[in-house]
């Protein structure tokens, strides 16, 4: 191609990019959060506006996308998209999520040893900052499993079968849990003795090697005190990928195919609770090094990624969960935003709303020099929706559970879920108003902390059911809610 044609296309793409940047703030969202806590309300409003400012329509070559990388890269990264996707879905960015995940799934390849592109830019190309060629690129190995986990989460949130039925997603799952695991030696029986320089190009034959051992980092933790061989998040993500794919296969009616993955899951869970668990200290180790030593919880520049055990939901013992949360509660002031942005929902779910809200306010504060990182604003939307308001898919129902402090109220409007939109208003923890704003009937699971024999549903009394959450009782009822219907449920305080 001649210089003049190259220059023409460069100018054309730059102009289209300029138009896209101008139009990104015009993408609307019905999402609105109101609260008796004015500071929190202002923080969430900032997060909404900031997140939408990063959303782009389909005028770029890559199609619908939002920024999910370091600011101003004009790109989206596998880890960031995985973490931002539910917040994006709540805001109504469904086309963006499905397009971006599909791009990652479609770019898995044998030439990259069954990795995808770590980061894709607006021009539908691997971001040059992370990619030189299929032989030389940056990649964090938990990403494939994280994406499978995200596919399943988005299917549960949207009920959009594309995430589990599309051939590209199916191919990505199968390759990631088989060829990818084998090629990168990620199974429990070989991972502790794997070559950390696996697939690093010979510098004599390949002198322009930009990324070296970063072509396949076996953790999301890019720091540490030396050459890390493995991070606990590598194991946690693999477990999450296996669990998610088993659920996907079950949804597809392919139960007979789950046996091999269930056996792998059992082995990896055993590995997590033996190799990574320090029985004498009763804590999980975090990083495994070349000299066969471990790190536990770290602060400062080099930070432990134990929160992935909670994010990927791979622990079952409350004592282990509480130990990790205690560490993060004590050290959260010193955490980088990529890690701190995972925390609020974990504290909401453990019935610590004051701690969770405090972290959100810190994340959104003008004094936070990194608050413009796209991951921050998108995840704040998820924290208040799923955490504070307790809105979550529960099989075929939409569950709600207030985690407000006493005498508080909060309302969230225009939440996109199950292909419709809902409004939810909580008054303390004793009364919830649910509005179905869409044109399809939904099933509501109204949940309240504590044991109650009955609840008032509008002017009628219904008997409750009881279940345990984190060892504590929760009362609930199932209520069909017709299109454009509003229902109020209350318990006696």
Per-residue pLDDT of the chain (493 residues; tens, 9 = 90+): 433 433 333 334 444 444 444 344 468 999 999 999 999 999 999 999 999 999 999 999 999 999 999 998 999 999 999 999 999 999 999 999 999 999 999 999 999 999 999 999 999 999 999 999 999 999 999 999 999 999 999 999 999 999 999 999 999 999 999 999 999 999 999 999 999 888 887 777 777 889 998 999 999 988 766 678 899 999 999 999 999 999 999 999 999 999 999 999 999 999 999 999 999 999 999 999 988 999 888 655 556 689 999 999 999 898 999 999 998 988 887 888 988 999 999 999 999 999 999 999 999 999 999 999 999 999 999 999 999 999 999 989 999 999 999 999 999 999 999 999 999 999 999 999 999 999 999 999 999 999 999 999 998 999 999 999 878 899 999 999 999 999 999 997 6
Predicted local distance difference test score (pLDDT) of residue 145: 98
399-490: in CATH 1.20.120: no
Q: Is 339 in contact with 18 (CB distance < 8 Å)?
A: no
Predicted local distance difference test score (pLDDT) of residue 265: 98
What's the length of the chain? 493
Helix (H, G, I), strand (E, B) or coil at 372: coil
Q: Which residues contact 222 (CB under 8 A, 6 or more apart)?
A: 140
What's phi and psi for 197, nearest 5 deg? -95, 20
The model carries a pTM of: 0.93
The dihedral built from the CA positions of residue 119, 125, 127 and 128, taken in this order, carries a sign that is positive
Q: How far is CA 146 from the centre of its chain?
A: 8
Q: Using CA atoms, how far apart are residues 103 and 173, in angstroms rounded to an integer?
A: 14
Q: Using CA atoms, how far apart are residues 392 and 89, in angstroms rounded to an integer?
A: 12
Q: Where in the chain is the domain with CATH 1.50.10.10?
A: 61-388
Q: Which residues contact 124 (CB under 8 A, 6 or more apart)?
A: 60, 61, 62, 63, 103
Predicted local distance difference test score (pLDDT) of residue 21: 42
Neighbours of 318 (CB within 10 A): 12
What's phi and psi for 460, nearest 5 deg? -120, 160
Q: Is 175 in contact with 114 (CB distance < 8 Å)?
A: yes
CATH for the stretch 61-388 = 1.50.10.10
List residues bridging with 481 in a β-sheet. Answer: 442
List residues bridging with 136 in a β-sheet. Answer: 133
Neighbours of 38 (CB within 10 A): 9
Predicted local distance difference test score (pLDDT) of residue 58: 95
List residues bridging with 432 in a β-sheet. Answer: 426, 489
Q: Is 295 in contact with 285 (CB distance < 8 Å)?
A: yes
Predicted local distance difference test score (pLDDT) of residue 240: 98
Q: Which residue has the tokens 């004015």?
A: 38
Q: Where in the chain is the domain with CATH 2.60.40?
A: 399-490
Q: Using CA atoms, how far apart are residues 114 and 119, in angstroms rounded to an integer?
A: 15
Predicted local distance difference test score (pLDDT) of residue 303: 67
Please give the helix or strand (H or E) that residue 152 lies within, else none. Answer: helix 143-158
Predicted local distance difference test score (pLDDT) of residue 202: 78
């Amino acid at each position: 191609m001649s210089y003049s044609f190259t220059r023409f296309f460069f100018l054309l793409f730059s102009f289209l990019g300029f138009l896209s940047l101008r139009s990104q703030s015009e993408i609307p969202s019905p999402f609105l959060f109101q609260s008796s806590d004015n500071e929190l309300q202002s923080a969430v409003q900032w997060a909404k506006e900031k997140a939408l400012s990063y959303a782009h329509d389909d005028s770029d070559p890559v199609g619908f996308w939002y920024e999910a990388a370091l600011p101003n890269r004009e790109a989206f990264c596998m880890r960031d998209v995985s973490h931002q996707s539910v917040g994006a879905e709540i805001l109504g960015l469904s086309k963006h999520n499905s397009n971006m995940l599909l791009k990652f799934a479609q770019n898995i390849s044998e030439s990259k040893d069954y990795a995808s592109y770590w980061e894709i830019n607006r021009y539908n190309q691997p971001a040059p900052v992370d990619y030189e060629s299929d032989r030389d690129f940056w990649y964090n190995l938990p990403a494939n499993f994280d994406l499978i986990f995200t596919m399943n989460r988005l299917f549960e949130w949207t009920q959009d079968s594309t995430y589990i039925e599309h051939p590209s997603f199916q191919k990505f799952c199968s390759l990631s849990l088989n060829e990818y695991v084998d090629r990168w030696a990620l199974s429990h029986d070989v991972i502790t003795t794997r070559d950390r320089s696996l697939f690093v190009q010979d510098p004599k034959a390949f002198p322009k090697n930009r990324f070296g051992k970063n072509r396949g980092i076996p953790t999301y933790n890019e720091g540490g005190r030396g050459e890390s061989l493995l991070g606990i998040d590598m194991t946690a993500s693999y477990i999450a990928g296996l669990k998610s794919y088993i659920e996907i296969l079950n949804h597809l009616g392919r139960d007979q195919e789950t046996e091999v993955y269930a056996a792998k899951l059992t082995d990896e869970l055993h590995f997590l609770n033996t190799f990574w668990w320090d029985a004498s200290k009763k804590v999980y180790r975090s990083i495994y090094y070349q000299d066969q030593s471990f790190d536990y919880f770290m602060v400062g520049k080099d930070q432990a990624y134990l929160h992935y055990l909670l994010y990927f939901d791979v622990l079952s013992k409350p004592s282990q969960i509480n130990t990790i949360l205690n560490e993060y509660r004590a050290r959260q002031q010193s955490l980088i935003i990529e890690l701190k942005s995972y925390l609020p929902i974990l504290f909401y779910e453990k019935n610590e709303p004051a701690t969770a809200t405090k972290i959100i306010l810190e994340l959104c504060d003008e004094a936070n020099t990194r608050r413009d990182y796209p991951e921050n604003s998108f995840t704040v939307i998820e924290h208040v929706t799923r955490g504070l308001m307790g809105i979550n898919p529960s099989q075929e129902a939409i569950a709600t559970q207030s985690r407000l402090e006493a005498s508080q109220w909060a309302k969230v409007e225009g939440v996109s879920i199950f292909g419709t939109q809902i409004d939810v208003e909580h008054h303390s923890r004793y009364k919830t108003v649910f509005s179905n704003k869409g044109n399809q009937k939904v099933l509501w699971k109204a949940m309240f902390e504590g044991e109650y024999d009955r609840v008032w549903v509008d002017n009628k009394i219904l008997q409750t059911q009881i279940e345990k959450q984190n060892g504590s009782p929760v009362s609930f009822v199932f209520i069909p809610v017709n299109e454009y219907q509003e229902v109020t449920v209350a318990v006696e305080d």
